Amino acid sequence: MDLRTKYMGMTLKSPLVVSASPLSKTLDGIKKIEDAGAAAFVMYSLFEEQIELEQKELFSISTMGSESFAESLSYFPDVAEYNLGPDEYLEHIRKAKESVSIPVIASLNGKTTGGWTRYAKLMEEAGADALELNIYNIPTLTELKGEDLEKNYIEIVKSVKDNLSIPVAVKLSPFFTNLANFAKKLDEIGTDALVLFNRFYQPDINLDELEVEPHIVLSNPTEMRLPMRWIAILKGRIFADLAATSGIHYGEDVIKMLLVGANVTMLCSSLLRYGVEHLKDIQEEMIEWLEERDYESVMQLQGSMSQLNVADPSAFERAQYMKAINNYVINY
Amino acid sequence: MSKKEFITIDGNEAAAYVMYRVNEVCAIYPITPSSNMGEWADEWAAKGIKNIWGTVPTVCEMQSEGGAAGAVHGSLQAGALTTTFTASQGLLLKIPNMFKIAGELTSTVFNISARSLATHALSIFGDHSDIMSARSTGFAFLGSCSVQEVMDMALIAQASTLESRIPFLHFFDGFRTSHEVSKIEVIPDEIMREMITDDMVKAHRERALTPDRPIIRGTAQNPDVFFQNRETINKFYEACPDIVQKQMDKFAELTGRKYKIFDYYGVEDPEYLVIAMASGCETIQSTINYLNKNGYKAGLIKVRLFRPFDVKRFMEAIPHSVKKIAVLDRTKEPGAVGEPLYQDVVNAIIEGLNNGYGNLKSLPLIVGGRYGLSSKEFTPAMVKAVLDNLKADKPKNHFTIGINDDVTFTSLDYDETFDIEPENMFRGLFYGLGSDGTVGANKNSIKIIGDYTDYYAQGYFVYDSKKAGALTVSHLRFGPEPILAPYLISKANFIGVHQTVFLEKFDLVSNLIEGGTFLINTPLPKEEVWDSLPKSQQEQIIKKKIKVYAIDAQSVAEASGMGRRINTVMQVCFFAISGVLPKDQAIDAIKQSIIKTYGKKGDAVVQMNIKAVDNTLEKLYEVPVPNEVTSKFEIRKPVADMAPQFVRDVIGEIIAGRGDKIPVSNFPVDGTWPTDTARWEKRNIALEIPVWDPDTCTQCGKCAMVCPHATIRIKVYEGKYLENAPETFKYTDAKDKQFKVENLKYTIQVAPEDCTGCGVCVEVCPAKNKSNVSLKAINMAPQPPLREKEAENWEFFLNIPDLDRSKISLNSIRLQQIQRPLFEFSGACAGCGETPYIKLVSQLFGDRAIIANATGCSSIYGGNLPTTPYAKNEEGRGPAWSNSLFEDNAEFGLGYRLAIDKQNEIAINLLNYYKDQIGADFVNEIINADQSTEDGIREQRKRVEKLKDICKNLDIPDAKRLINVADYLVKKSVWIIGGDGWAYDIGYGGLDHVIASGKNVNILVLDTEVYSNTGGQTSKATPLSAVAKFSAGGKNTQKKDLGAMAMAYGNVYVASVAFGAKDEHTLKAFLEAEAYDGPSIIIAYSHCIAHGIDMSKPLRQHKLAVESGQWLLYRYNPKLKEEGKNPFILDTKDLKIPVKDYITSEGRFQMILKSNPTVAQHLFAEAQKQVNERFNKYKYLAEQPLNGQQIKQENN
């Protein structure tokens, strides 16, 4: 079975890509990703804000209480060199490139326009094959208009694209008034791929302490419906490649995503839950399904059920929601 | 001669710079003010910097200075070029080895930043009492007068010791030289290579012990030969001065800097000669130069080589015309004919005259005087007074200069206004708060001026004795000529006031010259700045035509992401208005310097500083100065008028910065100081203070428990006391059952002017407002608007009587915390992790406690002048406290116990002897009194008072003796308190002996896991993988298990506590420890600023430490054995989180993660392994059979 697919100009041996996750934090982890059969992987994200925070924190720690009391003018030795911020990440890219043969896609969450481009360039220089921009923030200002926010995003992506020669993907959240329009805008400035969708970690409340706490929940298969719908809608309407992520757990999930038009499928939660070896199972399930139905290649399948290619395009539209409710069977 | 290279460094770094390069082994131990030398060596070694022969010197921290000296001795004997650094008590501990090293003619240089020895009090500051105590060791003594000389003499000493075989003590003045930052010429490595020849090193190695050429040293000799052997060394001492001079001459050829072992300065034909050593010589030299232009005929001899004292060369250095000589000693030798240098000079001149050395024809008049003890200022005015004394018909001998001795009248008067500083010398004074970065910025400014101009630059920094909210004063001089001014600036061209709080406390403008510049950081709008100045300041500004500038540096810093660090902002202001450098050049230099200084710490840090530079200039403005005074207020008095006389006359004057002027007669003769004085010093350092919400409060008492400065107090009282309460005084009904019955009221009150604003109380508060969970029962609010009202409330609160102690149950924190603390408002860091434990001791046992305190943080915030935090209760009782030394604290405390027990025994013997006269029943009642409760102790006190009354009327010979010792019939609680540096390292031998003694003492180890007071050096309590000084690469050995060692005795009560993890457990352990009639040791987890944590949320660290098992909670109570129970109780039941989750939350561990992630991962894994092993071992011990029968059977 020819599992090859194209993603951002790269020919990948299969559509199975490991998304940005702790799995790529160590070189060992990356080697395991390759050994399990991934066609590529997205490195865990570098957060510009975190880099700044860490630097400021280290500065604060190393100067805390200093030059204040005659006997203790400092509290820490002056260390020769610190592995701060991007250095560690960039070194990780370099080492990953040396260690594995599959493409390395770096991932960046910037804060400032300058930061986005500066770090993106550094990642390219470190050897990343492609870059995924992890545009990840929750706008909370009531005065901030949606159009201004979108404009800002477009500027960031454009600025990165203008400065880089490697392909650039944008990982999006689903929360846009008209996602299709925004996707088109990104497409117009040459974005090489859209990754649908970013899952925001939703905070929880600790009832004992009455505190808001981060609460990380792994995705479940039902979550794949949202990206699946939007990939179906966007396929054929924009030039950018499409990567599906969220809730892809089994071979059948991958097939569904490919059917609606995904160039690649990105996996994380299922691998965290079942181990990175699970990739092999997924691939086997995929092959089984394709072979049973006499498909020759993945490319043959891709987009065959996009909105443009299905008999009832409205099935992917809002009316379908109403229908779903009407058809819902109450089991109690 | 090589091309000259200049660097701007301090004296300690200058010494370490050379010593590191010309040695192979450094054995070190931290002690102020020498610690930095060892720290530099350790840092350089960690960075792989090599010495002049291409090897990275081995730097080894020892357990004490005595240990360091032993290691040096051994290393020298085994052939390595070896050095060490120390001061004060540290030098004393090295003396035994110094005799050996010298007796064996072993080449080494000990570098000493000379510091006062502890006598009636400890002092960290500079004088020569330490080195003078070592002058009989046989070491050669070479003194340096300036930072440049420190670098030069270090090399000359090394060359001389290797050639002469005499070990050298290279000394310079502690703080004045060790910490003075100065632009100096650096000695290139190639010159060091030329000075220290291969032949010298070869000879040193050939003298080493080696089994390849076996010899023995350290023999024991008998009366027949010891004496002769001792005389074999004489020729080496005779040759030594020539060798030193030869090396000085060689050095001069190589560098152009000429020195003589006795250097004369002054006119060719002086009548008056001053002789001195070290930094004071610089002041004398510049003053003499000035005075000679005005008709004085004076000269100075700088004694550089004090030992061996070369009489011939000394005589040759004295000009023939000299008629009178004043010898100045920076030390005091009570009971001696005179101080050491004076005695040597007198002897040398008499001997020299007898031998016909030199140019003198007759014996001049020689007087001696003391100056500069404990870094007391030594100014040109004082030098002039010394010379004027010489000019008098009958010069005063054995005088003092710089103080007012109105008791034995030794002091010379001097004219404080006498000033010799040249016009072209820029002088700036900067008043900052410890944490605001002022000193760092000024050090940086000196480097900028040093690097970017041909100017010479000097910086000296004065710190106060408090660790929280400390005032720092930076003294900066810049000028075209070398700066010979090792004294503070009294008249400045520029004054920067970096915090407004100083304006209401100190008269700052009086230090400005006419037409000077006054820069203020103030949050006030431009139109309000002038009126914010006290009357006297306005008057002087108008009169002296001073230009006033202002900026809201805090806002600029915050907007730039700098938080409270206003250093960069104020530095830009200084350069913008001082005119020291052209503005644009200065701004560019600051930015370059920012990149250089912070580049390593990340772009974000660089960018925020650059942003601060860019944001500053537009916010800086000149304040218009009107023609008349408009202010309505004056500088505040240092203490309230109602304070006791001693507090007003002495303590208040010290607080006001006028301590130098207090005459001798105002002081106690033996160092005794009153307790209960901290409450008079209203420091007002908190920007925000806690505000209590009675409606939300659950009355758990935790806020009071954790408050490091005892500024949150709880009282439970009868409602009648609320009569006349101030309008804003808060109270509610007491919730506890026993109080509810009596309808008692409950108040939590904050001392607004004593609080440091640390916020730990808010962190611990478990009660949340039901309508807005961001609010707790304690919330921080800005202090200024609350200050006045809350101060009134505080006074009212203090006047409400304390609840009867016997009514306070001690089985929970909520009730126990009602006990009044007898330890309050110390100078500890904001958020200190040690003080809550001491406060707890003071609450539980303070009225009967006697405390032995090891030197360290707890002795500094516990006993550093001016004020004392140990307080008294309504009856006038409270902790009695003393600090002996760092190394002997356990023994010192045991001494308390021995004395108390002896006096108790004498009293009991007398009672028994006079049973019939006193009354047998009453005597039995006293002797057998149960004093295990508050009631019991109170009743016993009553009995003792009754006993004294009886004795007064008794016609027995021993009545007075019995009265004299009767108070010892009341229980006394002996507490031995200190940090881990003491307990784990320097004092461990003594501590071990004391717990083995079986005596009833309570040892409290405040375990910060690092030498906190001296700036964070590694101790044996430092955990694996933590970065600390002397473990820059992460500590690679595990923490010593002190508790396990103590438990091994079986009869010692041992507890390991962490109040932030489980406060009730801490309380229980303290009660059990004190109740145990034998030795007890409590090892207390004490978070610390040296851990690199958020000091407003330190309790989280306690919890994480305990949950991870990195810190175990346990108690070992030998009494349980008597009940047939397992004495060991592991109070940490499970390990809840991985160690990594704890340690990566602290900067000390993060640093290794950031600097060497690979090593960090390895160390972290090892840390987890060790935690698991230790926990499992302890769990096993705790699970041993509880049935005594079984234990006995097993034992049998």
Q: How far is CA B1023 from the centre of its chain?
A: 23
pLDDT at B523: 93
CB B515 within 8 Å of CB B544: yes
- Residue B1195 is predicted with a pLDDT of 38
Question: Where would I find the H helices in B256-397?
Answer: 280-292, 311-317, 340-355, 380-391
* Contact between chains at A67 and B472 (C-beta distance less than 8 A): yes
Report yes or no: A101 and B468 within 8 Å, Cβ to Cβ: no
Q: Of B819, B847, B869, at which residue does a domain stop? A: B819
Is-contact B1025 B1042, C-beta < 8 A? no
Residue A314 resides in a domain: no
CB nearest B773 (choices: A58, A70, A210):
A210
Give the residue from B962, B947, B950, B953 showing the smallest Cα distance to B906. B962
Which of B254, B280, B312 corresponds to the end of one domain?
B254
CATH number at B131 reads: 3.40.50.970
CB contact under 8 A, B46 and A67: no
CB B92, CB B66: distance < 8 Å: no
Q: Which of B65, B824, B891, B1009 is catalytic?
A: B65
Instruction: Say if residue B63 is exposed, middle or buried (CB neighbours under 10 Å; 0-12, 13-18, 19+).
Output: buried
**Contact check, Cβ <8 Å, B773/A73:** no
Please answer yes or no on whether A68 and B472 come within 8 Å at the CB atom: yes
Mean pLDDT of B966-994: 98
Same domain for B762 and B702:
yes
pLDDT per position as a tens digit, B737-767: 999 999 999 999 999 999 999 999 999 999 9
pLDDT at residue number B1194: 38
B398 vs B379: CA distance, rounded Å = 19
> What residues of chain A lie within 8 A of the CB of B42, using their CB?
77
Domain containing B348 — which CATH number?
3.40.50.920
Residues B318, B278, single domain; the answer is yes
Residue B65 appears among annotated catalytic residues:
yes
In a domain, B885, yes or no: no
Mutation for B interface: A47, A67, A89, A122, most B CBs within 10 A: A67
pLDDT for B247-284, tens place per residue?
A: 999 999 999 999 999 999 999 999 999 999 999 999 99
State which residue of chain A sits closest to B464, comparing Cα positions.
A69
Q: Has residue B123 been placed in a domain?
A: yes
Q: DSSP character for B407?
A: S
If asked whether residues B680 and B670 sit together in one domain, one would say no
Residues 6+ apart with CB under 8 A from B134: B91, B92, B94, B95, B98, B169
To the nearest whole Å, the CA of B1031 is away from the closest chain A CA by: 8
| B 886-945 residues with CB < 8 A to A | none
- Give residue B598's pLDDT: 86
- Give the range among A8-22, A297-311, B694-708, B840-854 with minimum mean pLDDT: A297-311
Of A59, A63, A72, Cβ closest to residue B1015: A72
pLDDT at residue number A55: 86
Which chain B residue's Cα is nearest to A112? Answer: B604
**Distance of alpha carbon B29 from the chain centroid:** 15
B100 and B216 inside one domain: yes
**Range A107-129 burial, b when 16+ CB lie within 10 A, else e:** bbbbeeeebbbbbbebbbebbbb
Considering the domain boundaries, does residue A139 fall inside one?
yes
B175, B1012, B1016: residue with CB nearest A76? B1016
* Collapsed DSSP state (helix, strand, coil) of residue A170: strand
A-contacting residues in B 496-525 (Cβ below 8 Å): none
- What are the phi and psi torsion angles at A316 (to 5°)? -90, 0
Q: How far is A157 from chain B (nearest CA, A)?
A: 22
Q: Decide if B1151 and A79 are in contact by the 8 Å CB cutoff.
A: yes
Cβ–Cβ below 8 Å for B1147 and A61: yes
- Predicted pLDDT at B924: 97
Task: Indicate the SS3 state at residue B513.
Answer: strand
Q: What is the pLDDT of residues B501-541, one digit of tens each?
A: 899 899 999 999 999 999 999 999 999 999 999 999 999 99
pLDDT tens column, B475-505: 999 999 999 999 999 999 999 999 888 998 9
Catalytic choice (B8, B13, B21, B115): B115
The average confidence (pLDDT) of chain B is 95
Query: What digits encode the pLDDT tens for the residues B392-422?
Result: 999 999 999 999 999 999 999 999 999 999 9
| Helices (runs of H) and strands (runs of E) counted in chain A | 12, 12
Domain at B652, CATH number: 4.10.780.10
**How far apart are the C-alpha atoms of A77 and A59, rounded to whole Å?**
13
Residue B1013 catalytic? yes
Catalytically annotated residue among B97, B389, B675, B1013: B1013
DSSP assignments along A180-215, one per residue: HHHHHHHHHTT--EEEE-PPPPPPEEETTTTEEE--
CA distance B823 to chain A (A): 21
Burial of B239 from C-beta contacts in 10 A (0-12 / 13-18 / 19+)? middle
The backbone region for B1050, taken as left when phi is positive above 0, alpha when psi lies in -120 to 50, beta otherwise, is left
**Position A249 in a domain:** yes
- Give Cβ neighbours of residue B977 (< 8 Å, ≥ 6 apart): B838, B841, B851, B852, B853, B854, B858, B889, B1003, B1004, B1006
Q: Residue B1177: inside a domain, yes or no? A: yes
Same domain, B571 and B436: yes
**Strands (DSSP E) found in B670-814:** 688-692, 712-717, 732-733, 745-750, 778-782
Select from B767, B721, B712 the least CA-distant residue to B743.
Answer: B721
B6: Cα within 13 Å, side-chain hemisphere: 18
Is the same domain home to B389 and B532?
no
Within this chain, do residues B239 and B307 fall inside the same structural domain, yes or no? no
pLDDT of residue A39: 97
Two tokens at B973?
């609680």
pLDDT of residue B48: 93
Q: Considering Cα of B59, then B60, then B61, then B67, what sign does the dihedral take? A: negative
Q: What is the pLDDT of residues B649-687, one digit of tens each?
A: 999 999 999 999 999 999 999 999 999 999 999 999 999
From chain A, which residues contact B within 8 Å (Cβ)?
Answer: 51-52, 54-85, 88, 210-211
Question: Same domain for B758 and B747?
Answer: yes
Segment holding B1191, helix H or strand E: helix B1188-1195
Q: For chain B, what is the largest distance between any 2 Cα atoms, rounded to a whole number of angstroms?
A: 96
Active site residue B32: yes
| A182 to chain B, closest Cα gap in Å | 32
> Cβ separation of B602 and A70 shorter than 8 Å?
no
Indicate if B739 and B766 belong to the same structural domain. Answer: yes
Say if residues B735 and B849 touch (Cβ distance below 8 Å).
Answer: no
Residues 6+ apart with CB under 8 A from A41: A17, A18, A19, A23, A24, A30, A33, A34, A102, A103, A104, A105
Domain with A246 in it: 5-303
Number of H helices, E strands in chain B: 45, 36
Q: Residue A331: inside a domain, yes or no?
A: no
Domain that holds residue B74: 7-254
Read off the pLDDT of residues B125-144 as tens digits, 9 standing for 90 and up. Answer: 999 999 999 999 999 999 99
| In chain B, residues 356-415 whose CB comes closer than 8 Å to chain A | none
Predicted confidence (pLDDT) per residue in B538-597, tens digit = 999 999 999 999 999 999 999 998 888 899 999 999 999 998 889 899 999 999 999 988
Contacts of B124 in chain A (CB under 8 A): 70-71
Q: Between chains, do B605 and A59 touch, taking CB under 8 Å as contact?
A: yes
**Quick check: B1151 and A62 CB within 8 A?**
yes
**How far does the CA of residue A4 sit from the closest CA of chain B (Å)?**
38
Contacts of A110 in chain B (CB under 8 A): none
Which residues of chain B from 851 to 880 reach within 8 Å of chain A, CB to CB?
860
**C-beta separation of B754 from B795 below 8 A:** no
Q: How many CB pairs under 8 A join A and B?
A: 155
Those residues with Cβ within 8 angstroms of residue B1190's Cβ, 6 or more apart along the chain or in another chain: none
- For residue range B1144-1181, what is the model confidence (pLDDT) as tens digits? 999 999 999 988 888 999 999 999 999 999 999 999 99
Give yes or no: residues B583 and B480 share one domain. Answer: yes
Entry pTM? 0.93
Following CA atoms B688, B690, B691, B695 in sequence, which dihedral angle do they give, to the nearest 10 degrees? 150
| pLDDT, average across residues B1111-1115 | 98
In a domain, residue B851? The reply is: no
Find out whether B861 and B835 touch, Cβ atoms under 8 Å.
yes
Closest among B980, B976, B1173, B1172 to B1085, alpha carbons compared: B980
Q: What is the mean pLDDT of residues B620-629?
A: 96
Q: Which of B12, B32, B568, B835 is catalytic?
A: B32
Question: pLDDT means per 10 residues in chain A (332 residues)?
Answer: 96 96 94 97 92 85 86 86 82 95 95 88 97 85 90 94 96 91 96 93 86 85 93 96 95 97 96 95 96 95 92 71 49 44
User: According to the model, what pLDDT value does residue B1033 have?
Assistant: 87
Residue A68, domain member (yes or no): yes
Give residue A310's pLDDT: 87
Of B471, B429, B424, the closest CA to residue B570 belongs to B429
Considering its fold, how many domains does chain A have in total?
Answer: 1
For chain A, the maximum distance between any two Cα atoms, rounded to a whole number of angstroms, is: 82
- Residue B883: helix, strand or coil by DSSP? coil
What is the nearest CA distance from B461 to chain A, expressed in angstroms?
9
Number of structural domains chain B divides into = 6
DSSP-H helix ranges across B617-672: 645-646, 652-655
List the CATH number of the domain containing A98: 3.20.20.70
Do B157 and B109 touch, CB atoms closer than 8 A?
Answer: yes
**Confidence class for position B2, pLDDT limits 50, 70, 90:** low
Query: CA of A115 to nearest chain B CA: how many angstroms apart?
Result: 11
Using a CB-CB distance cutoff of 8 angstroms, which residues of chain B are in contact with residue A68? 434-435, 439, 463, 467, 470, 472
| B705 and B665 co-located in one domain | no
| pLDDT reported for residue A318 | 56
Contact call for residues B143 and B261 (beta carbons, < 8 A): no
> In which region does residue B358 sit, left (phi positive, over 0), alpha (psi from -120 to 50) or beta (all else)?
left
Q: What value does the mean pLDDT take over residues B179-204?
A: 97
Residues B983-1019 pLDDT 10s: 999 999 999 999 999 999 999 999 999 999 999 999 9
Same domain, B230 and B282: no
Instruction: Kindly state the average pLDDT of the residues B631-641.
Output: 94
Residue A68 corresponds to which amino acid? S
CA distance B826 to B683: 11
Residues 114-153 of B with CB under 8 A from A: 124
B-chain residues within 8 Å CB-CB of A62? 601, 1092, 1147, 1151
Contact list, A65 vs chain B (CB under 8 Å): 434-435, 467, 829, 1089-1090
Is residue B810 over pLDDT 70? yes
Instruction: State residue B1187's pLDDT score.
Output: 54
Best of B175, B570, B605 to substitute, by most chain A Cβ atoms within 10 angstroms, is: B605
